[in-house]
Structure 1
C-alpha cells in the first residue's frame, strides 16, 4: 500500500509528566486502534495536536518530540488562543451543536471563524511539507473541514480522503451556517468523502445541490474538473479485543461483584460522555416515569449512569452537568430508601476493564442520544456479551441504528415510549434476548473497525489517479497566447459563459457592459467574434443583430454570418420526433411546480431553475431516464444542462459550426472557444489542433483552460483590449 498520512485534530497519544521526565503513551481510542495497522504497515505519518505542552520545559519538549518521532507522529502545536477559538470556539460551539441539530446552542455570531480557517491552513501547510509523491492523505473530522480544499490548492495531484465522524445535518439545518459554502468547498477538495450512514450522504448531497448548485449523483459529484466520490462507511470497533476482555477472569470477577452489590436488582446501564447530544436528561426522565407508574420496579431496579467529563471549559457543558445532577438528585429523593437509591451516578472516567465488566453485568443497555454520528458504545456492549444475553435499547437518531436493527429502537424525544421500551427490555424472555443479541454480535464482529479502515482505504486508493487539470490561474497563459496571435477567432457560448444564469431565459438579457465588450472585441483588428448559443435565433437577432458578430443559434442549427445577412439552417436535421416528445416534457412541467417547457425550431427544453433544487435534480434524472427508454430509436439527443434538460435533433451540435466559420479565415488564426456545459464540449472537440479552449465553471471538461465564472471570463476577454 502507499504511504499513509493520517491527519486528525488530536494525535493518538497522551503526554504524561512525571517530575522531570515525560512519556508519550499511545491512546486506546477506536480511531487510534483502527488506524494503527495501516499506519505501521505503510510506514506512514500521523499529524495532529499533541495536547497542551505549554508548561513543559525546553528539555521536556525535546523528549516529547523525540518520542513522537519514534512513533511517526508529527505535532502541530496550538497556542492557548487557538485552542480556545478554533477548537473550543468554532469547532465545538458552532459546528458540533449545529451538526447535532441543536441550533439553540449555536452562538449568535461565529467570531471564531478566522481562527478555525487559519488553523486549518496551518494543518494544510504541515501536511504539504511532509507529503511525498504517491502518498495517500486521510483527513479526519469536523475540526478540519477546510483542510482537503486547502491541501488540493497546495498539492493538486494528491490522493486525499476525508471522513466525517459526526452527523452531517439536513440541508435545511446546514444552510443556517454563515460560512456554509466555504466548508462545502473545503470538503470537495477530497477525492473520497466518507460518512457513517447513507442518510448523512444524502444530506451532504442535498447541501451541495442547494448551496453550490451542483447536480450530484448521490455518490459522485463533479467539482473543478474532478470526480469527487461520496460514500457511507459505518465505523466499527475492535470487537475481538472487547470479546476477549469480556472473557478475562479478572473482568468476570468484576461482573460477579457488580451483580452482588445489586442484591438481585435488574441493572440498567448508561455510559456516555457528559455531552448534551447524549440525551441523558430524557433518559433519566424515562426511568423516573417507569418508577412513577410502576411502583413494583422501585425496589427491583438499579440504574448505573457513568458520565465521563467532557469539554469542561465550555459553558454549555457546565450548565448541562447541573441539569443532570439535579435530575439524579430528584429521582433518588423521590424513590430512594435508606437502603437503596435507583440511580447510581458516576461522574468520572472508567478504565477499560471496569467498563467491560459493566457491559457484561448489565441486563439492559440504554444508548439514547438525541443525535449521534455513530455511537460506538452500542457496539461495544454487544461485543462484550459473549454470553449472548442483555438487551440494547437504542435511539433511532444514532448512526448505529441503521445497522443494529435487532436492538429495541426508540425515539429519545418520546419519554413515555422510552419508558415503555425500558420495561419491554426488562421483561423480555430469554429466547428473544439471545436471538437478538446473536444477530447484533454477528453484525458488530463482521463490520469491525478493521473492516471500516480497509473499506475506506481500498475505495480511496482504487480511484483513478488525479491528473493535471485545467486550473483557474491558467487564464494568464491563455491571455498571453491570444494577445500573441496574428489573427483571432473567438467562439463564445452565451448562458453560463458570458452571463450568469437567471430564473427564466427571458431574464438573462445582455447588460450594457457585455454589449460594449462584444462590440470592442468585434472591432479589434484581426479579430472575428461569434456567439454560439442554444438560444433561439429570434432572441440572438434581437440582442446582437446590430453588432458585427457571427451568430449561431440552437446549438448551430441556425447561422447568420453578420448584420443584415439571412439566417441559414443546417441541412439534414430531423424534427418528426418533436410531436411525440412534447407531451412528455409538458407532463413533467405540469407535475413539477416552477418548471416549464421552452420550444425552439428543432428542439425542446425543460427548465427547472425555479424548482426546489433537490426535487428538481431528482425529477431531471427521472425525465432523462424516461426519454432514454421511450425514444431510444428516435433521431434525437437528450442533453442535461444547467437546470435544464434539452432534446435536440441528432447530429446537430455546436462543433459543426467550426468548419464553416473557419472558411476564409487566415491559416495562422488562433481559434478560441469558451463554454460552460456539455453542449460546449462538442465545440471544444472541433477546435483545430493548436487552438485554445476555455471551460467556464467547475465541471469535467476537455478544455485546456478554466475560468471560475462569467465575471472571470469577461475580465480575461477585456484583457485583449488593453
Structure 2
C-alpha cells in the first residue's frame, strides 16, 4: 500500500523542498469571512469545496492566501496591509484581502466568470452569455490580483498556487512581470472539448493566460486531453500529447490530472463526535422521521447540480413504488447561490414547483414526501444528516469532482448508507462502488432509489468500506503533495 499522506508529511515536503520560497495561494473566495451581526463582528467559513480543499494546504505551508474580501466587516479586521492571521482560534497562515467595487464584482465574477465560463465549461445546455464589458472587467481584476501577488512576493522567490476559472489571465500577467515565481494552477471545474469552447470570443487570450503556468492541473485526464486539443486548435503552440506538455514561445506548461479530495481523517473524527450525534437527534425530531428511511441531497441551488432531474426521478419512484409511500422522506438542502442572475432564479423556481407538485400529488396525513430547506448548514449539521441518511443522491449534470460525495462517505464510519452518484462527476471515476446514474434519465434515478432502499446491510457495508478506504488513501494532503511533487520534478525547466 502506498505511503499515507497527512499534514505532517505535507509539512515535511514543504519544509524540505520549498522553505526558501514564499507560498502564495490565490482564489476568488476567501476561506474566512467577517460580517456584522447583532452581537458584533463574527467570523464565518463560507460554503466552498475549493476552500475546504485548500485550507489544509495553507495550514501546512504557513503561507499567504490572497482572496477577494467580500464580507461587510472584512475591512474592519485587517491591518495596514489588508491582512490578518487565520484561522481565528489558532492562526497558521495569513489572509490578504483584495477589494473590488460592486461594478468589478458584477463584471468579473457574476458576468464573465459565472455567465460565460461556468456554463461553457459545464456543458449543461445553459446558454453562456458573452459581454465585452464583462471581459474587460475580468482583465482588470486579474491585473489587480497580479499586483497583490507581486507585492506579496516582494522580489523573493515564491510558489504561486492559483485556484480556478476566475484567474485564467493571472499566470501570464505574473510571468510578464518577471521575478522568480513558480506558478501552478488548479482548474476546479471541467474543461470542455474544443467545439464547446469555440464560441468563446476571447479564447486566444484566455488560453495564452493559462499557458503562463508552469503546471496546470485538472481533476481527471479527460479534461487534460480536452485542454490540450483546445490549445492545438486555437493557438500556435507545440503539443506533446504523450507527455501532456505544451510549449509556446519558449515556455513549457505541464498539464496533469490531480483528483481533489478532503481531509478524510479529520472529517471522520468530527462526524463521530458527540456534538454530531446530538444534532442527529435534533434532525430526527425536526423531520419527524420515526421509522422512515431518509434520502438526502445537499448542494448549492445551481443548474449544474441536477436538482430538478433528481426530483423527477424521485417522483417516478413514488409513482412506480406505492408500497414506499409514507415509509421514506427526501430532504433537499439547497443553498441559494448567485440569486440575482436570471439562470439561478429560474432553477430555484423550477425546484420550488417540482417539490410543490410532488408533495401535492403524494402527500398523506402526517407525511410529506419532500422537505426543502434553503439555508446553509454548518459542517456538523451536514455530517449529522449524512449519518442519518439511508441514501444520498449526487445527481450533477457535469462536475469536475464533487466533494459532497466524498464527505458523505467519510461521515459513515458505520459502513452503512448508499451513495447514488452521477456518472458525469469526477468522483464517479474514483468511487466505483457507488450506484451510478445518468441524471438526465429519470427512470435510472428511480431505479437507483429503489435499489438503495432495498440494499442489504452486507452489500452496503462492502461498498461503503471500499469507498472509505479509497478516500482515506487519496486525501487532500495527497492531492497537495502530488501537485507540489510534480512541480518539483519539473523544476529544472524553470529559468533562474
TM-score, normalised to structure 2, is 0.88
SS across alignment from 2:27: strand
Distance 2:50 2:81 in 1: 22
The answer to whether structure 1 residue 310 and structure 2 residue 337 are counterparts is: yes
Flag the 1:67–1:156 CA change in 2: closer, same or farther, 3 A.
closer
Distance 2:152 2:379 in 1: 35
Distance 1:386 1:117 in 2: 46
The alpha-carbon deviation at position 436 of structure 1 amounts to 0.5
What's the CA shift string for 1:120-169, capped at 9, x where partnerless?
A: 11111221222243211111000001101111111264210000001111
> What's 1:194 paired with?
217
Contact 2:421 2:435 in 1 (8 A): yes
> What's 1:174 paired with?
197
The alpha-carbon deviation at position 35 of structure 1 amounts to 3.6
Contact 1:85 1:115 in 2 (8 A): yes
Range that drifts further, 278-287 or 308-317 = 308-317
Flag the 1:213–1:415 CA change in 2: closer, same or farther, 3 A.
farther
**Where does structure 1 lack aligned partners over 5 or more consecutive residues?**
470-722
Contact 2:77 2:84 in 1 (8 A): no
The answer to whether structure 1 residue 253 and structure 2 residue 278 are counterparts is: yes
Superposition pairs of residues 538-577 of structure 1, within 5 angstroms: none
What's the CA shift string for 1:505-550, capped at 9, x where partnerless?
A: xxxxxxxxxxxxxxxxxxxxxxxxxxxxxxxxxxxxxxxxxxxxxx
> What's 1:394 paired with?
421
Distance 2:133 2:486 in 1: 37
Distance 2:355 2:34 in 1: 34
Superposition pairs of residues 322-721 of structure 1, within 5 angstroms: 322-468=349-495
Flag the 1:97–1:230 CA change in 2: closer, same or farther, 3 A.
same
The alpha-carbon deviation at position 270 of structure 1 amounts to 0.6
Pairing partner for 1:113 from 132, 135, 140: 135
> What's 2:4 paired with?
none
The answer to whether structure 1 residue 277 and structure 2 residue 307 are counterparts is: no
The alpha-carbon deviation at position 102 of structure 1 amounts to 3.3
What's the CA shift string for 1:447-483, capped at 9, x where partnerless?
A: 11111111111211332245559xxxxxxxxxxxxxx
> What's 2:241 paired with?
217
Distance 1:467 1:245 in 2: 42
> What's 1:67 paired with?
84
> What's 1:102 paired with?
124
Distance 2:76 2:368 in 1: 51
Distance 2:163 2:456 in 1: 42
RMSD of the TM alignment (CA)?
Answer: 2.3
Distance 1:37 1:97 in 2: 29
What's the CA shift string for 1:662-702, capped at 9, x where partnerless?
A: xxxxxxxxxxxxxxxxxxxxxxxxxxxxxxxxxxxxxxxxx
The answer to whether structure 1 residue 5 and structure 2 residue 24 are counterparts is: yes
The alpha-carbon deviation at position 231 of structure 1 amounts to 0.6
The alpha-carbon deviation at position 226 of structure 1 amounts to 2.2
The alpha-carbon deviation at position 105 of structure 1 amounts to 2.7
Superposition pairs of residues 135-150 of structure 1, within 5 angstroms: 135-150=158-173
> What's 2:8 paired with?
none
What's the CA shift string for 1:268-315, capped at 9, x where partnerless?
A: 111111101000001000000011122111221200111011111212
Distance 2:263 2:477 in 1: 7
Contact 1:391 1:433 in 2 (8 A): yes
SS across alignment from 1:459: helix
> What's 2:207 paired with?
184
Distance 1:238 1:467 in 2: 31
**Where does structure 2 lack aligned partners over 5 or more consecutive residues?**
1-17
SS across alignment from 2:199: coil
Distance 2:337 2:277 in 1: 29
Contact 2:332 2:372 in 1 (8 A): yes
Flag the 1:63–1:274 CA change in 2: closer, same or farther, 3 A.
farther
What's the CA shift string for 1:605-653, capped at 9, x where partnerless?
A: xxxxxxxxxxxxxxxxxxxxxxxxxxxxxxxxxxxxxxxxxxxxxxxxx
Distance 1:159 1:141 in 2: 17
Flag the 1:138–1:358 CA change in 2: closer, same or farther, 3 A.
same
The structure whose RCO (Cα within 8 Å, separation 6+) is larger is 2
Pairing partner for 1:153 from 168, 172, 176: 176
State the number of aligned residues.
Answer: 467
Contact 1:332 1:342 in 2 (8 A): yes
Flag the 1:37–1:287 CA change in 2: closer, same or farther, 3 A.
closer
Flag the 1:270–1:39 CA change in 2: closer, same or farther, 3 A.
closer
Flag the 1:36–1:279 CA change in 2: closer, same or farther, 3 A.
closer
Contact 2:437 2:444 in 1 (8 A): yes
SS across alignment from 2:365: coil
Flag the 1:259–1:119 CA change in 2: closer, same or farther, 3 A.
same
The alpha-carbon deviation at position 369 of structure 1 amounts to 0.6
Contact 2:172 2:209 in 1 (8 A): yes
SS across alignment from 2:84: helix
Pairing partner for 1:237 from 245, 249, 262: 262
Distance 2:444 2:302 in 1: 23
Flag the 1:22–1:62 CA change in 2: closer, same or farther, 3 A.
farther
SS across alignment from 1:112: helix
Flag the 1:66–1:129 CA change in 2: closer, same or farther, 3 A.
closer
Distance 2:385 2:256 in 1: 35
Larger radius of gyration: 1
The alpha-carbon deviation at position 213 of structure 1 amounts to 4.7
Distance 2:440 2:394 in 1: 13
